[in-house]
């Protein structure tokens, strides 16, 4: 069981979903926060942070420029 507040977990999942990111992005963030909360990771460990960030960036989907323009057009219509 995670020691991360359930509202934080829900917010991370919602943010990943809203941004059309894989659910693993939120899961990895929750895992990292849980490791910090339990003392299994240290916030000042730059090597570990770099590895975790690199792993996250490997998962993140970057939208195409055309997709960005479509999103801006639909927001302008609101």
CA distances from 43 to 11, 54, 76 (A): 21, 16, 40
Domain-located, residue 58: yes
Judged against a pLDDT cut of 70, whether residue 68 lies above it is answered with no
Range of the domain at 22: 6-76
The answer to whether the CB of 11 falls within 8 A of the CB of 33 is no
Domain-located, residue 26: yes
This prediction's pTM: 0.75
Q: What are the pLDDT digits (tens) for 6-65? A: 999 999 999 999 999 999 999 999 999 999 999 999 999 999 999 999 999 999 999 887
DSSP 4: S
Domain-located, residue 22: yes
H-run or E-run covering 33 = helix 23-38
Domain-located, residue 1: no
The structure tokens 């693993």 sit at 24
Domain-located, residue 57: yes
Burial of 25 (0-12, 13-18, 19+ CB in 10 A): buried
Q: How many domains does the chain have?
A: 1
pLDDT tier for residue 70 given thresholds of 50, 70 and 90:
low
């Amino acid at each position: 069981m995670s020691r991360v507040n359930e509202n934080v977990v829900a917010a991370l999942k919602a943010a990943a979903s809203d941004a059309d990111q894989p659910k693993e992005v939120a899961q990895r963030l929750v895992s990292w926060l849980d490791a910090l909360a339990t003392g299994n990771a240290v916030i000042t460990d730059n090597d570990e942070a770099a590895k975790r960030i690199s792993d996250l960036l490997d998962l993140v989907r970057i939208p195409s420029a055309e997709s960005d323009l479509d999103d801006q057009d639909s927001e302008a219509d609101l």
